[in-house]
Structure 1
Amino acid sequence: MRAVHFTDTYLPRRDGVVSSIRTLVRALAHRGHPGLTVVPRHPEQAGEPDLMRLRAVPCGVADLRLSPWLLHGASATGTIAEIAATGPEIVHVHTPGPVGLLGVLTARRLGLPLVQTYHTDLHAYVDAYRVPTRALRGAVRLYAHRLGVPRPPAATHRQAALDATNSLLLGGADAVVVPTRAVLDRVSLPVPADRVFLVPTGVGARRTSPAEVAAFRATHALAPTDKVVLFVGRVNREKGVDLLINAFAELLADCPRARLVLVGAIYEPRWLTELLRSVGPAVAGRVNVIGQQPPSVVAAAYGAADVLAFPSGTDTQALVLQEAALAGVPAVLVDPVLHRHGPLAGAADCAAPTPTGFAAALLRLLSDPAAARRLGQLAADRAAEHTPERYAEAICDVYAHAARRQAGWSARPGPAQPVGAFGRLNDRGRTRR
């Protein structure tokens, strides 16, 4: 089954969506299902086989690039014709931007099954980045026009505008994948329950060596006696970095050998500089901000870490929790839903979302290495259940469901109407670990 994947985020930007797509595409190809990935072009992007790169411009937010001309008829029609020539059998949309909209249009025009993955808590992100409601309303009007459907009522606030966007893009999907229950607890998706499938992303271990770990420690002046608290992800406000920095300031009072290492892209440098200034030079001097790094360096960072700090309350899956677990690194997080229903299924320490509560949880693991090792091993066992191979197997089941539904729907005479549920995949298939 040849899938074509549509995403508005791709390399050189690194995030959970990019990691999930690349993992899935490789694992599907290994199972004999080659595919095409449609992405916005970036000047620093290396060419890859089976990658269609579309003209794109920076949008000014988090290094994202948009392809706005896809919102016009002629450009979209020409691109869809190129995609059709590759012989796709199913469309898989991963993001809600112009490239994602192109995916929905492609499925409609070519008569293909449509699968969407709801990777991101968009409501939290538009609030964090203060996206103007007017801009979101404009996008809703434009999307409705391109899809040829009635324009929804004008939204009065960001959340309503996003709900309208989700209805436009997800409403016609044959299947919608969510990576964890955290999505369903935070967002009301405009999709019948029989079309929603819970499929955690599989993650493979990041390989490193003692020499690479030693080199990482030397490069970043980490002493043998330092207790390393690691953060991996975008160093941004929506990831709870302000909570982490303030918690680290409290942690240092009881654990003066603690060091905080922040690995990830920085899109708001002034905000981060002010945040570090607010905790004073003594605390800031124990914080290493090393920016976005290649996979080999991230693997070495896990090897150097004593604990992973995950202060985000907006993540729907947090692949870094699985990556750290596979390296034997225990984690502290603050999101009780992700803690309970995420891929580690409780194999982490869940702290109160306050500087004092977070600092106390970090201190417990740093001061009890034996307990930290036990928790790290339990986390590793849980993460090992979510392999890329099992991820691809579960997605293939979803594709088959979508294809059956689309075929049944298309066979009905007259206006397209749902034919009713074909039945969900069984629990093992839907929540495959």
Structure 2
Amino acid sequence: MSTETQKKLKVAQFCDNYGPGSNGLMYAVQQLEGNLLDAGHEVIVVAPAATGPNPHYGRPGRTEIRLPSILVAHMPTKVATSRRFRKTLKQLEQMQPDVLHVHGLGPVGLLGIWAAKRLQIPTILTWHTDFEAYADHYRKVLPYLIPLVHAFIAYNGGELLTREDLKQARADFANYPRNVATLLGVCRKMLETADVVTSPSPKTASRCQLICPGLDVQVIPNGVNPLPGTAEVDRGPIGKAPKLLYAGRIAPEKGIDRLLDAFELVRLSYPQAHLTVVGDWAPYPKIAKRLEAARDAGYVSIPGEFPRDELGQFYASADLFVFPSLTDTQALVLHEAALAGLPIVSVDPELQLVIKPGSNGMVTQPAPEAFAAGIMQLLQNLKSRRFAKKAAKTSRKLAGKWSIESQAQAMLDLYQELAAR
């Protein structure tokens, strides 16, 4: 649809994870905000009150509704309480958004689905979460979410969610712990109620369909462009001191222990190899202790967290990107690495948008021994100039399919389609 014929829209974005820590979901939402504002549309952001990156704050056409929130113990995460939900519904009724876009499964997402149902506003729900990983690694959040779910039932008057819904969910998801089954029931209700469900990868779409069999899910990957200083890096054969890179959020569910275990094995064959781990490593003491020990031993660098537009220096100087996580739903860092021409070794067989095994990377079993073997095999291949050049070309070609511009237009077209209903 041409921009000349598009209606100017007002889109409300509901996001549960909007600081204080940075994360891929928040980046994806903020990218959408920028796309909408750049195209002349208006944006309403509904999120927990929190500090953190907020690049579009104060831009004309942008409004924030920040909800009272509480900090989750020992995590860089804030969860909205149910206070001011009714007030927010009234605000939204007065603001009259054309489309609501809900991101995720927390209290703010639930509020967004409730607002859509009550105010009869077309709604997109984008599912960013691998719920299996969420339930396994974020159990600290469950004690905050479950009381909010029960409070929501008490005051939504059965309009969206009832106790019978939760009772049925606990029966349908009986193989899960009670609290997890309760949240799965909430997730199912949200998925069933939204007009359109999207996900950033086939992996996440399959997770939605496990909760809601037969659900129609549109896969719209988040767009990524080359980081400054990476597009023209000339990739050649590696030497005796290969440089490995991991960039991203550092947390238990990201597989950092797996990476360090594997790298210790790699160093047996490549004693001069060096690993750089970019991200905020301080919040998790056990991980921090291990990273500090590796840094002090001289074979790992931990420069900390950097703004995204300053990450190019790390991608440009690396020889290989290593990805130890099984819990990501698209992993924008894989796209950043591929756009920099880096080959990739990953342990997640469901995230292969930018990986062609044998050509520009490898996907291994998650055991550290298998991960290390894959890394060493790719390092061996990268000693060939021909292979290194081909791998760089393949990485850039695959990642180039998912530019910010193309993916922004896909989502803007979907907004227009919904608003016209």
Matched residue type, 1:41: A
Is the 2:228–2:310 Cα contact (8 Å) retained in structure 1? no
Structure-1 separation of matches of 2:144 and 2:33: 33
**2:342 partner SS:** coil
Change (3 A) 1:45 1:382: closer
**1:349 partner SS:** strand
1:107 corresponds, among 103, 112, 116, to 116
Matched residue type, 2:154: H
Structure-2 separation of matches of 1:118 and 1:372: 36
Aligned residue runs from structure 1 range 181-220, under 5 A: 181-191=202-212, 193=214, 195-208=216-229
Alignment correspondent of 2:366: 353
Alignment correspondent of 1:430: none
Matched residue type, 1:34: E
Is the 1:180–1:198 Cα contact (8 Å) retained in structure 2? yes
**2:22 partner SS:** coil
Q: Offset of 1:94 from its aligned partner?
A: 0.7
**1:384 partner SS:** helix
Aligned residue runs from structure 1 range 325-364, under 5 A: 325-339=338-352, 342-344=353-355, 347-364=360-377
**1:188 partner SS:** helix
**2:42 partner SS:** coil
Matched residue type, 2:18: Y
> Is 1:157 matched up with 2:178?
yes
Q: After alignment, is 124-133 or 164-173 more displaced?
A: 124-133
**2:147 partner SS:** helix
1:388 corresponds, among 404, 416, 419, to 404
User: Which sections of structure 1, spanning at least 5 residues, go unmatched?
Assistant: 214-223, 408-433
Deviations along 1:281-325, one digit per CA (max 9) or x if unpaired, are 699531112222112331211111111110111111011000111
> Is 1:10 matched up with 2:18?
yes
Q: Offset of 1:345 from its aligned partner?
A: 5.8
Structure-2 separation of matches of 1:282 and 1:6: 39
Alignment correspondent of 1:428: none
Q: Offset of 1:27 from its aligned partner?
A: 2.0
Identity %: 31
Q: After alignment, is 224-233 or 132-141 more displaced?
A: 132-141
Structure-2 separation of matches of 1:76 and 1:282: 47
Q: Offset of 1:372 from its aligned partner?
A: 3.4
Q: Offset of 1:135 from its aligned partner?
A: 5.5
Q: For the aligned residues, what is the CA RMSD?
A: 2.8
Aligned residue runs from structure 1 range 40-119, under 5 A: 40-43=48-51, 47-49=57-59, 50-54=62-66, 55-68=68-81, 71-72=82-83, 75-119=84-128
Q: Offset of 1:116 from its aligned partner?
A: 0.6
Alignment correspondent of 1:144: 153
Is the 2:205–2:217 Cα contact (8 Å) retained in structure 1? no
Change (3 A) 1:388 1:193: farther
Is the 1:179–1:201 Cα contact (8 Å) retained in structure 2? yes
Structure-2 separation of matches of 1:132 and 1:95: 14
Q: Offset of 1:45 from its aligned partner?
A: 5.4
Structure-1 separation of matches of 2:257 and 2:396: 28
Aligned residue runs from structure 1 range 219-368, under 5 A: 226-266=241-281, 268-276=283-291, 284-339=297-352, 342-344=353-355, 347-367=360-380, 368=382
Matched residue type, 1:3: V
Structure-1 separation of matches of 2:355 and 2:63: 32
Is the 2:223–2:405 Cα contact (8 Å) retained in structure 1? yes
Is the 1:226–1:257 Cα contact (8 Å) retained in structure 2? yes
Structure-2 separation of matches of 1:382 and 1:283: 37
Deviations along 1:345-394, one digit per CA (max 9) or x if unpaired, are 65531122222221122223334243234222211111111112221222
Q: Offset of 1:61 from its aligned partner?
A: 5.0
Structure-1 separation of matches of 2:138 and 2:52: 25
Structure-2 separation of matches of 1:81 and 1:259: 55
Matched residue type, 2:32: L
Is the 1:23–1:203 Cα contact (8 Å) retained in structure 2? no
Q: Offset of 1:344 from its aligned partner?
A: 4.4
Q: Offset of 1:158 from its aligned partner?
A: 4.6
Normalised by the length of structure 2, the TM-score is 0.82
Structure-1 separation of matches of 2:132 and 2:47: 23
User: Which sections of structure 2, spanning at least 5 residues, go unmatched?
Assistant: 1-8, 171-176, 234-238
Structure-1 separation of matches of 2:43 and 2:142: 36
Is the 1:2–1:35 Cα contact (8 Å) retained in structure 2? yes
Q: After alignment, is 141-150 or 309-318 more displaced?
A: 141-150
Structure-1 separation of matches of 2:110 and 2:300: 41
Structure-2 separation of matches of 1:348 and 1:166: 35
Matched residue type, 2:194: A
Matched residue type, 1:389: E
> Is 1:176 matched up with 2:191?
no
Change (3 A) 1:146 1:197: farther
Q: Offset of 1:42 from its aligned partner?
A: 2.3
Q: Offset of 1:139 from its aligned partner?
A: 4.1
**1:35 partner SS:** strand
Deviations along 1:169-227, one digit per CA (max 9) or x if unpaired, are 222100111111112334535557464211111111111389xx9xxxxxxxxxx9742
Change (3 A) 1:32 1:189: farther
Q: Offset of 1:143 from its aligned partner?
A: 3.7
Matched residue type, 2:397: D
Structure-2 separation of matches of 1:242 and 1:301: 21
Deviations along 1:243-287, one digit per CA (max 9) or x if unpaired, are 10000000111111211111122364321145458xx76995311
**2:377 partner SS:** helix
